[in-house]
């Protein structure tokens, strides 16, 4: 598979993930409302997610280097995943899915730019030049205008 084909497939995958995030927020929020507890909803989602992830892992291959051999810092992602799911499950029904996701987008854009700028956490470095700053500003402006009430 060529690099451009691989990049296209990864781009499509991430686009589909982006489509799924607000759907997930709406479903999680409704599940939390029906259960009467966003925390119970998040717990059930993680339990089901663990089963699904385990099945995929068994199908495609177990870890090559052992279970807990990476730096402890990298396991902090679990805390961030839990924070996200708990936050979105609690907030989306209260401020609306779009508002919740738009605030998430602002945070993602700014954090991603800083991670890329400094190559944090082993990420590929991509300097913040004037063109990238303009793109980020346009994205943030688009988020603002998309959420602005007429």
Work out the widest C-alpha separation in the chain, in whole angstroms: 55
DSSP secondary structure string, 63-82? -SS-SS-S-GGGGGHHHHHH
Whether 150 has a pLDDT exceeding 60, the answer reads no
Show the 3-state SS of 100-126. Answer: HHHHHHHHHHHHHHHHHHHCHHHCCCC
pTM of the predicted model, to two decimals? Answer: 0.76
d(CA 1, CA 7) in angstroms, rounded, equals 10
SS3 assignment, position 124: coil
Q: Which distant-in-sequence residues (6+ apart) come within 8 Å of 74 by Cβ? A: 121
Kindly state the percentage of the chain with pLDDT values over 90: 43
Going by C-alpha positions, the residue among 79, 85, 75, 107 that lies closest to residue 21 is 85
What integer pLDDT is reported at residue 121 of this predicted model?
Answer: 86
List pLDDT tens digits, range 35-94: 999 999 999 999 999 999 999 999 999 888 888 888 888 888 889 999 999 999 999 898
Cβ atoms of residues 78 and 68 within 8 Å: no
Q: Rounded mean pLDDT of 5-26?
A: 90
Distance of CA 119 to the CA centre of its chain: 19
Residue 148 DSSP symbol: -
What is the structure's pLDDT at 149? 58
| pLDDT at residue number 31 | 94
Region 127-143 average pLDDT: 88
Give the per-residue pLDDT at 16: 92
């Amino acid at each position: 598979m060529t690099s451009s084909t691989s990049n296209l497939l990864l781009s499509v995958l991430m686009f589909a993930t982006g489509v799924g995030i607000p759907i997930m927020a709406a479903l999680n929020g409704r599940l939390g409302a029906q259960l009467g507890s966003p925390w119970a909803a998040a717990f059930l989602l993680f339990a089901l997610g663990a089963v699904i992830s385990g099945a995929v892992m068994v199908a495609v291959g177990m870890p090559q280097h052992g279970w807990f051999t990476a730096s402890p810092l990298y396991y902090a992602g679990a805390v961030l995943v839990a924070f996200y799911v708990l936050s979105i499950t609690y907030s989306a029904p209260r401020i609306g899915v779009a508002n919740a996701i738009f605030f998430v987008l602002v945070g993602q854009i700014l954090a991603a730019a800083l991670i890329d700028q400094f190559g944090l956490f082993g990420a590929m470095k991509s300097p913040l030049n004037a063109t990238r700053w303009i793109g980020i500003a346009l994205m943030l402006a688009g988020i603002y205008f998309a959420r602005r009430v007429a």
